[in-house]
Amino acid sequence: MPSRGGLASLSAMRTSYLLAAGLVLASTISISVLAAPAKVTGFTYSWPRDMTRYPALVRYLQTDRTKAYADYAPLFDAPVDMGPPSSTFESSTEWAVRNELPGLIALAATRYSYTGGAHGLGFVEALLWDTRAGKKVSFAGLFTNPAAAKALLTPLYCRALDKERLVRRGEPTPRDDIFGDCPDLMKDGEIWPDKPVYGKYSRIAISLSPYTAGPYAEGSYDLEIIIPKGLKRLVKVEYRSLFPG
């Protein structure tokens, strides 16, 4: 039989073992908690309810929403060593119908993203949907000759941009200025035909996001130009009746 001293020694050893086991268990629990998926906050994505009239369009928007979430959610699992906490992040998309004519509906999304840094970024994204074919069509895709349409519209667009820059800056901007040129209409702008009158479009709407035509402080440039004569003949047959001329 162990002596009293031996019993005390065994008790001390057992206590040390239990304490060590407890520390290991606590460490395991702590690691398990840290490894749990982070809660994703700040994500919103919406479109008008009556878009259910166009199932293919709804599927397109659902796919876009899934992609937007897939790009955004992993940011909450990344370690944050510096900068704002992920709870301040935001990703929002709100689609609205700008106009609808037989065979074609124009939507524009107001998008905003903030994932750290000095500020977020808001911009507009256009979506033209062929309701008969059930598919997306680009602005350039409305024309039989997109290059000719671009050549016709660009001078009007550049004049509208220069006019708006003058209003915002108070003086003309030289072309060699960092924000003095005219960005490519088809590549850099979000464009859609707009403001139907008696079943025909009357304007071309153009949105340029921050940093495209000016510094961040100037925000987006939202312009519109009158549809010029000669544009209709460049429009594809299936959309031609929607244009004036």
| Distance from C-alpha of 244 to C-alpha of 198, rounded to nearest angstrom | 10
Q: Give the global pTM.
A: 0.82
| Distance from C-alpha of 108 to C-alpha of 129, rounded to nearest angstrom | 11
Please check the confidence at residue 27 and state whether its pLDDT lies above 60.
no
| Distance from C-alpha of 55 to C-alpha of 131, rounded to nearest angstrom | 10
* Confidence tier at 17 by pLDDT (50, 70, 90): very low
pLDDT in tens, 137-148: 999 999 999 999
Question: What length does the chain have?
Answer: 245
Please check the confidence at residue 94 and state whether its pLDDT lies above 50.
yes
Is the model more confident about 35 or about 194?
A: 194
Please check the confidence at residue 14 and state whether its pLDDT lies above 80.
no
